[in-house]
Structure 1
Amino acid sequence: MQIELLTPPSIIGICGGILNADFTTYQSRANPPHYAAATQSYCLDENTECIMEPLNDNTARAAAAEDGVWPAQRHSILDWLITDTRNERFIDNIFVEMCRRLSEAGVPVARATLHFRTHHPQWLGARILWRTGLTEAKITTFGYGVETTPQFQNSPVNVIYSGSEEVRQRLEGLPKDAEVNSLYLELSEDGLTDYVAWPIHHTFGKRHVVTFSSDRPGGFAEKDIAFLRDLLPALTLVSEIRLKNVMARTLLQTYVGPHASEQILAGATTRGSGVTVGAAIMICDLRDFTSISDLWPRDDVIELLNAYFDAICDPIQRHGGEILKFMGDGLLAIFPLSKPTACADLLQSIREGQAAMAALNAQNAGKGRPVLNYGVGVHVGDVMYGNIGSSKRLDFTVIGPAVNVASRLETLTKDIKRPVLLSKAFTEMAKCESELESLGSFPLRGLGEPVDIFALPAEDATQAG
């Protein structure tokens, strides 16, 4: 009796050859398939079920396919990887569970790592580590420059990244003075007996690395190696989907911010779509940047600009603000009022930014560089938060009268020589008027009525530029 094959052909090609007594059946047990033509049987150990190992015999496979029995069954770990992980968002969770299932199935995996490169502004890549007894992965990130270190250059991971298809090292009985990579000595001292590394081939030539280590005396048997190798195509598909999702999210967060990136990924991509939100708004601009950029070497200008943005932006992000855009040497940031402390957080980020800028200016003075002056305008109100732009090029940003007021206040800092100006509306919401200095009312371009303005007390007026 036959039953319908439900798995797509592309998946069938991945599934062939990893079989045991815990399997999905595509042919009725009442009419058992003839495996002999395409597989040979072996057992991981005497306490586990036998596994059907694929033969590298295309003729046998073709003959079996003609009989409609290839592949008739697949191993439960492979079945789980392909079908049951579809709703698991994070590759580290999948990797840990896969290793746990391998161990339970009798494959002597005691340690495993997955190495992948990212598109992150701070991190070149990351490593997911699992060891026996761990219920969750240990994730380590690696900054740019690690690829030039001797430790990485001589590592088996780099050998795989450089083009090799397999690295195998027996660890059992390895002398402490053996002339091998230090990783092998560390693993041997930890009681591991065998090590193997393979590439994970993603699309467009992207190459990542997976490694497995055993603690069983004698290390991995060849049937264990064959079993693990047969998992790689499925692990490749599963990992690529998750890593591409991570990279997409990382790139969006880098260029448009965390909240906007989630909105875009959720489908908010239609021009004009958006929501009205209450927010504390901060606009910051560097003074005399045009003259600096005209006179200084390009690399020095970029270094200076990045240092300035670090000083101002790190406190904003640390206190929950979202930097929506950089505008040359300026920036626009908001603190959504959905958080009760939004205004207080913005004010604290300004104070910490001032301290960081003072430290940066002291450092620049030691190098003979000029003092960097800047201005900040702060207001609060409702803004339209969403997609603005042409039909083919959009910007996820905020617009509205409240943004205009913050911009006018920033411009006013040049005239009244105070680096930070805050509207009365903001100070009332922040309940911080007693901490500030009232400067009176000032007319702002485009507004019918003058605006009451406050400044931080005891400020160094030279910072206003």
Structure 2
Amino acid sequence: MQSFSEETPYSPAEDRGSWPMRKRRILDWLMTETRQQRFIDNILVDMCQRLVDDGVSVARATLHFSIDNPQWRGARMLWKPGLQQADMQTFDHGLEETPQYLNSPVNGIRSGLDEIRRHLDAPLDSGPEYPLFDDLRADGLTDYVGWPLEHTLGKRHVVSFSSKRPGGFTEDEIALFRDLLPALALVSEVRLKNRLARTLLETYVGPHASEQILAGATTRGSGVTVGAAIMICDLRDFTTLSDIWPRDDVIGLLNGYFDAMSEPIERHGGEILKFMGDGLLAIFPLSNPNACADLLRAIAEAQAAMIALNENNIKNGRSVLGYGIGVHVGDVMYGNIGSRKRLDFTVIGPAVNIASRLESLTKEIKRPVLLSKAFVDLAECQSGLEGLGPQQLRGLGEPIDVFAFTGISAAERPRPD
């Protein structure tokens, strides 16, 4: 997922020293030498290797985090000897209701237990038993211990360590782990908060805008002029749908529509700048020489996805969804606009206005996708167009030539990977 830390490899002395010395080395490293490492999974790998090099019998370690992510409920990071990168696994929302999760030590700790210790090679009545422990025994592990990682505002995550030494961890090793917990909690919370900030920005403003904001573009009026193909899409008769369908059904219809439109846009390099009620604004920067062709491919795939969505809607007794798309090309101002305390990272300019007027025109001439001649000329599209002649757009003095998009040929569609 991320590249392994490029820090100088740890080379302990032949004499590992006393347990207090070992603890001091690991704590000093955690608190003062991990500042340049952005990713907690890399810190986990490095920490475990240092523990092994210092004679600690750890043979498996995990970190379990709850994540504020629209796609995932949580993530597990796993280290074993020989791994240069942690094994990463994400979990979908709803995991916490599954028997697998409910009958796990992770759930036990998140539900309030302060420690779970199990000598895996001891009789079954010597401690708590979970299905996971059978898997650990099959891997030759002899001991398991898990603790909460306490973050601020009551957030509780989980760390675990396992051993293969006959008899399991020594009391000195368990004491060492316990002493590491506050430092590991602090180090992991900083990384999780950094990742959360990036995830939230990517979720709400998109990956490109989030990079600009994180790089310091936070001043009102800051921005750049870029050439872009602009796409504006709007759902038809949304007000009527909102009046006749229950709220949850309306939200489900909207989400299905946005999935159908958004996924092809993002797949082909477009950036969705905002959702506007039942509409969206997206750009394809012309720094990509294939931007216009990619936009047409995205529209074609979105139309196919809408057909499939409407077939499913009909099957489930829901309304068929209509839409209008306007496309133009030109220079736009890309940056921060708004009040002193509330900013929007977006694009503005005459080219955006023309795309918006084209989308509105789809209602009048009953064509779902309209393209300006300026866009068509730049796209060098050879098929799938119908010229509609000059059209008067609201607010513009002179008519502009408009084309209806009827689809792209098989030869122009992207090849499957």
Q: Considering the TM-score relative to the shorter chain, is it more than 0.5?
A: yes
- Whether 1:83 and 2:83 are equivalent positions in the alignment is no
Matches within 5 A, 1:284-299: 284-299=233-248
User: 2-side partners of 1:382 and 1:124: how far apart?
Assistant: 40
- Residue 50 of structure 1 corresponds to 17
- Residue 98 of structure 1 corresponds to 47
The verdict on how the C-alpha distance between 1:338 and 1:312 changes in structure 2, with shifts beyond 3 A counting, is same
- Residue 154 of structure 1 corresponds to 103
The CA deviation at 1:448 is: 2.5
**SS at structure 1 position matched to 2:149:** strand
2:136 is aligned, of 163, 187, 196, to: 187
**SS at structure 1 position matched to 2:58:** coil
The CA deviation at 1:439 is: 1.6
- Whether 1:223 and 2:172 are equivalent positions in the alignment is yes
- Residue 209 of structure 1 corresponds to 158
Give yes or no for contact 1:22–1:75 (8 Å, CA) kept in 2: no
- Residue 73 of structure 2 corresponds to 124
Range moving further from structure 2, 246-255 or 77-86: 77-86
- Residue 112 of structure 2 corresponds to 163
User: 2-side partners of 1:352 and 1:294: how far apart?
Assistant: 30
2:309 is aligned, of 349, 360, 363, to: 360
Q: Report runs of 4+ in structure 1 exceeding 6 Å deviation.
A: none
User: 1-side partners of 2:208 and 2:148: how far apart?
Assistant: 35
- Residue 375 of structure 1 corresponds to 324
The CA deviation at 1:48 is: 5.1
Deviations 1:315-368 (A, max 9, x none): 111111111111110010111112222111111110110001000111111122
User: 2-side partners of 1:348 and 1:326: how far apart?
Assistant: 21
- Residue 253 of structure 1 corresponds to 202
- Whether 1:444 and 2:411 are equivalent positions in the alignment is no
Counterpart of 2:283, as a letter, is: I
User: 1-side partners of 2:407 and 2:354: how far apart?
Assistant: 24
Give yes or no for contact 2:118–2:128 (8 Å, CA) kept in 1: no
- Whether 1:312 and 2:261 are equivalent positions in the alignment is yes
Give yes or no for contact 1:424–1:453 (8 Å, CA) kept in 2: yes
User: 2-side partners of 1:381 and 1:162: how far apart?
Assistant: 55
Give yes or no for contact 2:45–2:84 (8 Å, CA) kept in 1: yes
User: 1-side partners of 2:364 and 2:130: how far apart?
Assistant: 64
- Whether 1:199 and 2:166 are equivalent positions in the alignment is no
- Residue 413 of structure 2 corresponds to none
Give yes or no for contact 2:117–2:128 (8 Å, CA) kept in 1: no
**SS at structure 2 position matched to 1:75:** helix
- Residue 44 of structure 1 corresponds to none
User: 2-side partners of 1:115 and 1:277: how far apart?
Assistant: 42
The CA deviation at 1:262 is: 1.5
The verdict on how the C-alpha distance between 1:257 and 1:458 changes in structure 2, with shifts beyond 3 A counting, is closer
Counterpart of 2:244, as a letter, is: L
Structure 2 gaps, min length 5: 1-10, 409-417
The CA deviation at 1:77 is: 2.1
The CA deviation at 1:86 is: 0.4
- Residue 376 of structure 2 corresponds to 427
**SS at structure 1 position matched to 2:18:** strand
- Residue 17 of structure 1 corresponds to none
- Residue 250 of structure 2 corresponds to 301
The CA deviation at 1:50 is: 3.0
Range moving further from structure 2, 255-264 or 401-410: 255-264
The CA deviation at 1:370 is: 2.2
User: 1-side partners of 2:179 and 2:18: how far apart?
Assistant: 12
User: 1-side partners of 2:354 and 2:123: how far apart?
Assistant: 71
**SS at structure 2 position matched to 1:248:** helix
Structure 1 gaps, min length 5: 1-20, 24-46, 54-71, 460-465
2:334 is aligned, of 363, 374, 385, to: 385
User: 2-side partners of 1:335 and 1:197: how far apart?
Assistant: 48
The verdict on how the C-alpha distance between 1:365 and 1:218 changes in structure 2, with shifts beyond 3 A counting, is same
The CA deviation at 1:172 is: 2.0
* TM-score normalised by length of structure 2: 0.91
Give yes or no for contact 1:91–1:242 (8 Å, CA) kept in 2: yes
Give yes or no for contact 2:388–2:401 (8 Å, CA) kept in 1: yes
The verdict on how the C-alpha distance between 1:355 and 1:262 changes in structure 2, with shifts beyond 3 A counting, is same
Alignment root-mean-square deviation, CA: 2.0
The verdict on how the C-alpha distance between 1:428 and 1:171 changes in structure 2, with shifts beyond 3 A counting, is same
The verdict on how the C-alpha distance between 1:185 and 1:48 changes in structure 2, with shifts beyond 3 A counting, is farther
